[in-house]
């Protein structure tokens, strides 16, 4: 099981990195990365559903490996935002990336009940919900 989770995590990272490589700005990178994420979930629907609904897998080594996959996606987004939003703090970028990862997971679960939603449409929902906040990252929080 751990090997399968690691392999899936590596594939997700590769797919996302390739998707954002030719982005022209941070919005384009986010959109491309989101589409790649939802494409990955669509291509691995049965495995994704099992992991999301089998709570016993979330404890122990399997849970740690799933969290490592989340963290790799968060790290990738944080890095991309750093390159595109240089006037932001690491804390701001990390918080935004964690929010986006969580939103993507919940939306992927929601899509299990709405299989007519395309990868692009799902990505657009996340982008619509997060883009305004990302644009404001350069403003002081407090």
* pTM for the predicted model, two decimal places: 0.77
Give the count of alpha carbons within 13 A of 89, CB side only: 6
Report if residue 83 sits inside a domain. Answer: yes
Number of structural domains, the chain? 1
d(CA 124, CA 120): 6
| CATH classification at residue 27 | 1.10.357.10
Chain segment 39-97, per-residue pLDDT in tens = 998 998 877 776 666 656 667 788 888 888 899 999 999 998 888 888 888 999 999 99
Write down the pLDDT at residue 33: 92
Q: Is the pLDDT of residue 141 over 60?
A: no
How far apart CA 51 and CA 54 sit, in angstroms, is 6
- Contacts of 23-27 with C-beta under 8 Å, sequence gap 24+, read 23/80, 25/84, 26/80, 26/81, 26/84, 26/85, 26/134, 27/127, 27/131, 27/134
Report yes or no: 45 and 113 within 8 Å, Cβ to Cβ: no
Kindly report the three-state secondary structure assignment for every residue of 12-23: HHHHHHHHHCCC
Which is higher by pLDDT, 87 or 106?
106
Residue 142 lies in a domain: no
Residue 42: domain span:
2-137
Mean pLDDT of the chain: 86
Decide if 93 is inside a domain. Answer: yes
**Mean pLDDT, range 103-110, rounded to an integer:** 93
């Amino acid at each position: 099981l751990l090997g399968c989770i690691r392999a899936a995590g590596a594939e997700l990272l590769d797919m996302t990195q390739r998707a954002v490589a030719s982005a022209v700005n941070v919005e384009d990178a986010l959109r491309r990365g989101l589409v790649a994420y939802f494409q990955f979930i669509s291509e691995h629907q049965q495995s994704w559903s099992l992991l999301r609904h089998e709570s016993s897998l979330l404890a122990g080594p399997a849970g740690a490996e799933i969290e490592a996959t989340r963290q790799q996606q968060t790290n990738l987004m944080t890095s991309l935002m750093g390159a595109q939003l240089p006037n932001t703090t690491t804390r701001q970028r990390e918080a935004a990336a964690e929010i986006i990862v969580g939103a993507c997971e919940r939306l992927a679960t929601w899509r299990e009940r709405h299989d007519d939603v395309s990868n692009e449409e799902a990505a657009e929902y996340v982008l619509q919900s997060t883009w305004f906040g990302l644009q404001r990252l350069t403003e002081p929080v407090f």
